[in-house]
Amino acid sequence: MDMTSVLQQVSSEASKMGIDALLVSPGADLRYLTGYDATPLERLTCLVLPSGRDPVLIVPELERLAAYASPAGKRGLDIRAYGEIDDPFGLVADILGPVGVVGVDERMWAKKLLDFQSTLPRTSFTSAGGVIGKFRMVKSHEEIDELRKAAHAIDEVHRRLPDFIRPGRTEMQIARDVGEAILATGHSRVDFVIIGSGPHGASPHHEVSDRVLRQGDSIVVDIGGTMPSGYRSDCTRMYSLGEPQQEFLNRYYVLHDAQSRAVEAVKPGVACGYIDRVARGALAAAGLSEAFIHRTGHGIGLETHEDPYILSGSDVILQPGMAFSVEPGVYFPGEYGMRIEDIVVVTDDGFESLNQVTHDLIEVS
């Protein structure tokens, strides 16, 4: 979809939902709508999208050239710059005129929303998340291509992991190598590097520490970055230093099975909650339900966590083009944790798993 038609569709959807105008500040929503990856600053940059009228992008004078050079400028979006002592909130108010309900992007800084509220005292403000999220949640072929490239890049990092993992190295040292590999494989930014060795693996969002790896450790490696396109990767694989204990292996087989069953259940028409139930059911059957302490997955695109969430009870129905993680995990405090994560896209008749790197436990000797 080109920018103009996305903007028109979002605007008309907003109007159907009783929202008279949208205000979108720098972030994934702005990038999605205009292609402009604006720097979030204390100065206001804001897309003004009044229903039934042409959109205007307000930028500080010193961002004018950057905005013109961005896809937003190249596609002819009306860009208006203001000077250091001008009041950009008043400028937006003038563009909007009298307006009843304004939707703001969910990542707008509180300071900016408060300034809009005092500039437009008779206007009521609501979240634009429901409107824009509806569009962002269903990816175009171009977006899926970008997510596929991101997945292949992070797969390549996982293939290099065995070179980085050795007894005597710290999580931090491994993370530094992983960070470099994330950039070397085509990402433009490292978003997160989780190296959970031994008992640290039991904390799902443990990042890194100075813990020294020992023979016999299992290691959770959950890594992701942003590609130049803005689309993101996120993939978890499990490693072990030497041969793991039998109990670990037994649990790993159960998790592996739960993850594949959940992925294979992905198709149009089923609810997100159902995918979660499949993963949870497979773990429960092996007595591991208590150890699975988080949701099964999250949508991914221009943000690492976005709609749809693969959450127990969610009745959001899967549609072709939705992209999300399937990442059940089980955690045993004081011992270890394990998680397997792929990014999956809903196709017309099923699913495509974007990550291709093996799901086997990688034994590093």
8 Å CB contact between 364 and 239: yes
Contact call for residue 222 and Zn ion (CB under 5 A): yes
Contact call for residue 355 and Zn ion (CB under 5 A): no
User: Strand, helix or coil at 20?
Assistant: coil
Contacting range for Zn ion; rule: CB under 5 A; set: 105-113, 119-127, 317-325, 351-359:
317-325
Chain centre to alpha carbon of residue 38: 18
Least distance in angstroms from the C-beta of 107 to Zn ion: 19
Q: How far apart are CA 130 and CA 188, in angstroms?
A: 29
Contacting range for Zn ion; rule: CB under 5 A; set: 57-65, 127-135, 195-203, 227-235:
227-235
Nearer to Zn ion, 107 or 305 (CB): 305
Least distance in angstroms from the C-beta of 300 to Zn ion: 7
Contact call for residue 303 and Zn ion (CB under 5 A): no
Nearer to Zn ion, 55 or 299 (CB): 299
Residue with tokens 């003004």: 48
Residue 354's CB is within 10 A of a number of other CB atoms, namely: 23
Contact call for residue 234 and Zn ion (CB under 5 A): yes
Q: How far apart are CA 207 and CA 209, in angstroms?
A: 7
Least distance in angstroms from the C-beta of 324 to Zn ion: 9
Q: How far apart are CA 331 and CA 93, in angstroms?
A: 52
Least distance in angstroms from the C-beta of 234 to Zn ion: 4
Contacting range for Zn ion; rule: CB under 5 A; set: 60-68, 158-166, 232-240, 252-260:
232-240
Least distance in angstroms from the C-beta of 321 to Zn ion: 19
The closest of 26, 105, 93, 109 to 66, measured between CA atoms, is: 26
The size of the interface with Zn ion (CB under 5 A), counted in residues, is 5
The closest of 164, 154, 181, 178 to 241, measured between CA atoms, is: 164
8 Å CB contact between 262 and 275: yes
Q: Is 356 exposed, middle or buried (0-12, 13-18, 19+ CB in 10 A)?
A: exposed
Least distance in angstroms from the C-beta of 327 to Zn ion: 5
Nearer to Zn ion, 112 or 148 (CB): 148
Region 22-81 residues binding Zn ion, contact defined as CB under 5 A: none
Nearer to Zn ion, 146 or 341 (CB): 341
Which parts of this chain interact with Zn ion (CB under 5 A)? 222, 234, 236, 325, 341
